[in-house]
Amino acid sequence: MRSSAAILATAMTLTVAVHAGRPGNCPHGLNYCASALNYVGGNDDAIEDALREAGHPDIAVLPGLWYFWLFHCNPDESLRVIERCNNNCIGQGVGKSDICDTSPPLPF
């Protein structure tokens, strides 16, 4: 019984290690709207990981709700959540960090 528990614990540790901080497809050092990351492609796993690590596992599994999120691309191309934008995430063009719309939140 003891060896079964050890095998299970090892398997769970390996599963977490495999899924932690998977790289995306982004030039590091800039902030990106989820829509820009989706346009480039190859970032779904990294977006999910970043949202889970930021404490939003419910949002991580619902790609339709990623639109308002802003992410930072780390040197290893993993992503880190910067913030959830109140109204909209605005792309700033090639070589510039995207930003959140700073207007007051919409009433809905």
Pairing of strands 69-73, 79-84: antiparallel
Work out whether the CA dihedral 43, 75, 27, 85 comes out positive or negative. positive
In a domain? residue 81: yes
Domain contains 106: no
Residue 10 lies in a domain: yes
pTM, 2 dp: 0.75
Domain residues for the domain of 13 are 2-100
In a domain, 107, yes or no: no
- Residue 105 counted as domain residue: no
Distance CA(33)–CA(44), nearest Å, equals 13
- Total domains in the fold of the chain: 1
46-68 tens-digit pLDDT? 999 999 999 999 999 999 999 99
pLDDT digits (tens, 9 = 90+) for 61-89: 999 999 999 999 999 989 999 999 988 99
The continuous run of DSSP H or E covering 57 comes out as: helix 57-60
Q: Is residue 80 part of a domain?
A: yes
